[in-house]
Amino acid sequence: MQGEDEPSSSATMVEDEIYANGTSADDQKRNRPIITGEQLDIEAYASLYSGRTKITRLIFIADHCGADTNQTMQLEALRMAYDEIKKGENTLLFREVVTKIDGRLGPDYGMDATWCEMIERRAEQRKDKLENELNAYRTNLIKESLRMGYNDFGDFYYAHGALGDAFKSYVRTRDYCTTSKHIIHMCMSAILVSIEMGQFTHVTSYASKAEQTPEALDAITSAKLRCAAGLAHLEVKKYKLAARKFLETGPELGSHYNEVIAPQDVATYGGLCALATFDRSELKSKVIDNVNFRNFLELVPVVRELINDFYSSRYASCLDYLGNLKPNLLLDIHLHDHVETLYDQIRHKALIQYTLPFVSVDLRMMADAFKTSVAGLEKELETLITNNQIQARIDSHNKILYARHADQRNATFQRVLQTGSDFDREIRSMLLRANLIKHDYNQRGGSRKI
């Protein structure tokens, strides 16, 4: 079989490309922009986010990093979550984190009953004040005041972790919106709370509603809406739609939406969903040649490299990158449920594209290229052949895959015969109509007597 590099030469090629940047190989190795299987840098990761999502992501890492094998990471995540919560007013999350810590971080990270009582007392006072103000606004019947009153209640409930009440308060402002900007603000608030609650049907609904008022949308808000819609599609496993939304996200997003998503996430989510669902032409035009999305890919070089490797048919290198990324992706609050599905789809696409140009493929060489055993590769190919994704047959004795290409000569003859038959039928119909007209044999509607 010709046309495929050995894994060793592919790896060497990748090494050459990475290091050929005008500096020494030793310097490049120290600063190599590739995420490896090393432990996630929690502090750097958490710094990408703000607000409630920062806390929930840290708690998620603590719950899923494997406490038996990685207790250090778990305690570090819980410590950072504890410190972050103390900056806010969410006593519900505070109690949850203290329970998870269970005294393992010493007395400084135990239950602070005094702080909880102070926050809850202040919350009661704040709530009474907001209720009094809202009652006064209801008496005056001023729409803008009522909108602000319900919005303040939404902010209050959100800060204290009552997400259901926050959502209801934000949605109630809809009746008092008087401008397009007010509608956008209401939609963005509802989207934020819906994402935190995991109610992605609401996210889709309010993102669509916001997009119906384009005159009030600036570039940053449009980018936020595309990210929110992308997350909603990702949650329901509509990976191609999710990829399109993330790819349409403008670079104006920056860190303006770090209460929900970081620009690095846009690159990772969009890149993986595109790899799993786009064909080669789409991958080239919508991802690799996409100037706006390139700005996001620069933030996550490993995703950029694996996309380029996949497009260039360097599958061993691409799968290595994916394997190194996987432990960290499994700690992502939005992506963890989809990692296995996306990886399977990407691998299947790679297998299909590898076999496409060839009449026969040596399974031993193919197994080397995909870092697997011949027996394991056979099972994967059997599944693809059964699902009619690869037109081929396997010679298990000689370990060769033979492609079953369509008989182009026979197909051409069949198309010619079908075209001739269609032409003959159309000519006979034309002659019949011409003879009917010639002999004035036509019957007008309503002239027939019964």
Domains in the chain: boundaries: 358-403
Distances (CA, A) of 187 to 51, 148, 190, 254: 19, 14, 5, 20
What does the alpha-carbon distance between residue 301 and residue 324 come to, in Å, rounded to a whole number? 13
DSSP states along 143-195: HHHHHHHHHHHHHHHHHTT-HHHHHHHHHHGGGG--SHHHHHHHHHHHHHHHH
Distances (CA, A) of 320 to 21, 268, 302: 22, 16, 10
> Quick one: tokens of 228?
């929110």
pLDDT of residue 239: 94
107: helix, coil or strand? helix
331 touches 343 (CB < 8 A)? no
CA angle 305–257–323, rounded 5-degree value? 30
273 touches 242 (CB < 8 A)? yes
Whole-structure pTM value: 0.77
pLDDT of residue 232: 94
What does the alpha-carbon distance between residue 377 and residue 307 come to, in Å, rounded to a whole number? 22
H helices present in 173-262, as ranges: 180-197, 200-211, 219-235, 239-248
pLDDT of residue 406: 53
φ, ψ at 392 (rounded to 5°): -160, 175
**What CATH number does domain 358-403 carry, 3.40.50.11440, 1.10.3720.10, 1.10.10.10, 2.40.50.100?**
1.10.10.10
pLDDT of residue 69: 63
360-362/400-403 β-pairing = antiparallel
Question: Which residue has tokens 């299987």?
Answer: 37
> Quick one: tokens of 413?
């003859």
325 touches 35 (CB < 8 A)? yes
> Quick one: tokens of 244?
């399109």
Helix, strand, coil shares, percent, the chain, to 5: 70, 0, 30
What does the DSSP 8-state code read for residue 400?
E
Partners of residue 395 on adjacent β-strands: 400
pLDDT of residue 34: 34
Tens-digit pLDDT string for the chain (450 aa): 444 444 444 444 433 433 333 333 333 333 333 333 456 888 999 999 998 999 999 999 998 887 666 788 889 999 999 999 999 889 999 999 999 998 888 888 889 899 999 999 999 999 999 999 888 888 888 888 999 999 999 999 999 989 999 999 999 998 888 889 999 999 999 999 999 999 999 999 999 999 888 887 889 999 999 999 999 999 999 999 999 999 999 999 988 999 999 999 999 999 999 999 998 889 999 999 999 999 999 999 999 999 999 998 888 888 888 988 998 899 999 999 999 999 999 988 888 888 877 788 888 888 888 878 888 888 888 888 888 878 888 888 888 888 776 556 777 888 899 999 999 999 999 999 888 888 887 665 544 444
